[in-house]
């Protein structure tokens, strides 16, 4: 009997490690951190776009564009979008994600209106350069959102499938993260944006 007692704790450690490993004890935080890192990439690309907008507005003003209403809309959309932030711990909150997506969609729409209002500016070098940078940023935003959605899908699948779901609930209280959804009315048919001319 004493021999079984001595062997029993030695056997329990590997069995416990396997059981915890099977419950996603390490894979869940790894997937969560990956999704958060991808979200940081999304925010980084939106910040890049926000940083380009003042230069674009200044270039349009310098060209003597008369339609101040659209420039005001672009500036206000940028300011509104800058105020809406989603921290990594908010990625499970649908309302905060929707507010962020609406704010960023407002910036996209105002930039499209700006392009449509000033087609004559396409021949100016500074304007063309800035619009080319914005177009590249819009492409990077799309890639970053896709990468984020992929990471969220992986995380959400991980925390909902057995046996990981046990570890997700017991150890982490994990909740599904929100994907980045399209919020514009015609989202299923993305508008063709050609900032470069």
Q: Per-residue confidence of the chain (197 residues) as pLDDT tens digits?
A: 445 455 555 555 454 444 444 556 889 999 999 999 999 999 999 999 999 999 988 888 887 665 678 888 999 999 999 999 999 999 999 999 999 999 999 999 999 888 887 777 766 777 888 888 999 999 999 999 999 999 999 999 999 999 898 888 888 889 999 999 866 544 444 444 444 44
Hey, what are 175's tokens? 């909740």
CB 179 within 8 A of CB 152: yes
For residue 43, give the nearest of 140, 169, 116 by alpha carbon.
140
| Residue 159: both structure tokens together | 């925390």
Task: Give the span between the Cα atoms of 174 and 160, in whole angstroms.
Answer: 9
Q: Which two tokens stand for residue 48?
A: 């890049």
| Enclosing H/E stretch for 106 | helix 94-117
Give SS3 for 87.
Answer: coil
Q: Quote the distance between the C-alpha of residue 10 and its chain's center.
A: 46
Q: What is the pLDDT of residues 13-63, one digit of tens each?
A: 454 444 444 556 889 999 999 999 999 999 999 999 999 999 988 888 887
191 Cβ contact list (under 8 Å, min separation 6): 112
Report the interhelical angle of 94-117 vs 27-62 (nearest 10°): 30
Domains, the chain, ordered by start: 27-172 (1.20.1440.20)
Structure tokens that stand for 4 in this block: 């079984």
The model carries a pTM of: 0.76
């Amino acid at each position: 009997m004493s021999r079984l007692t001595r062997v029993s704790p030695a056997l329990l450690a590997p069995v416990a490690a396997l059981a915890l490993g099977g419950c996603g004890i390490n894979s869940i935080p790894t997937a969560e951190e990956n999704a958060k890192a991808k979200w940081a990439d999304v925010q980084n690309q939106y910040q890049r776009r926000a940083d380009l907008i003042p230069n674009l507005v200044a270039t349009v003003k310098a060209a003597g564009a008369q339609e101040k209403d659209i420039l005001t809309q672009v500036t206000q959309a940028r300011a509104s979008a800058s105020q809406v932030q989603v921290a990594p711990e908010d990625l499970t909150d649908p309302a905060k994600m929707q507010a962020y997506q609406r704010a960023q969609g407002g910036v996209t729409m105002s930039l499209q209106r700006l392009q449509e209002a000033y087609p004559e500016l396409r021949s100016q070098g500074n304007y063309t350069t800035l619009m080319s940078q914005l177009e590249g940023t819009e492409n990077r935003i799309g890639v970053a959102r896709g990468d984020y959605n992929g990471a969220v899908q992986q995380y959400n699948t991980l925390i909902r499938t057995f046996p990981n779901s046990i570890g997700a609930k017991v150890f982490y209280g994990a909740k599904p993260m929100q994907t980045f959804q399209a919020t514009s009315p015609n989202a299923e048919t993305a508008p063709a944006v050609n900032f470069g001319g």
